[in-house]
C-alpha cells in the first residue's frame, strides 16, 4: 500500500507553469473593481429598502384588517 502511495503522490511538486513574481503593492482591482463593488452595494441597499417597505405595508394591512374585523364584530372582540 505504501509503495502505491509513493508512486501516486510524488514527494517533489513538479510544476508545469513556473510561479509568477508579482509585486503585491501594484496589484489592485482598479477603478472597475471599485465601481462594480459600489454598484453591488447600492443594489443591496435598494433591495433592503424595498423589503422594509413591503414588510411595513403587509404589517399595516394586517392591523387595518384586524381593526375592521373588531368594528364589524364588537362582541367577538375582547
pLDDT at 27: 80
pLDDT in tens, 21-73: 888 788 888 899 999 999 999 999 999 999 999 999 999 999 999 999 999 98
Tell me if 3 is assigned to some domain: no
Tell me if 36 is assigned to some domain: no
Tell me if 10 is assigned to some domain: no
Q: Provide the residue range defining the domain that includes 50.
A: 45-72
In angstroms, rounded to a whole number, what is the distance separating the alpha carbons of residues 39 and 31?
A: 12
Residue 7 pLDDT > 60: yes
In angstroms, rounded to a whole number, what is the distance separating the alpha carbons of residues 34 and 71?
A: 55
Tell me if 2 is assigned to some domain: no
**14-20: long-range pairs with CB below 8 Å, 24+:** none
Tell me if 63 is assigned to some domain: yes
Tell me if 62 is assigned to some domain: yes
Residue 4 pLDDT > 70: no
Task: At 73, list the grid cell.
Answer: 364584530
pLDDT-based confidence at 77, cuts 50/70/90?
A: low
Tell me if 52 is assigned to some domain: yes
Q: Which of 22, 26, 42 is nearest to 34 (CA)?
A: 42
Tell me if 56 is assigned to some domain: yes
Amino acid at each position: 500500500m505504501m509503495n502505491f502511495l509513493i508512486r501516486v503522490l510524488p514527494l517533489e511538486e513538479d510544476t508545469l507553469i513556473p510561479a509568477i513574481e508579482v509585486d503585491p503593492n501594484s496589484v489592485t482591482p482598479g477603478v472597475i473593481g471599485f465601481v462594480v463593488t459600489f454598484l453591488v452595494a447600492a443594489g443591496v441597499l435598494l433591495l433592503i429598502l424595498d423589503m422594509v417597505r413591503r414588510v411595513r405595508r403587509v404589517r399595516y394591512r394586517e392591523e387595518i384588517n384586524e381593526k375592521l374585523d373588531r368594528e364589524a364584530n364588537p362582541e367577538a372582540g375582547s
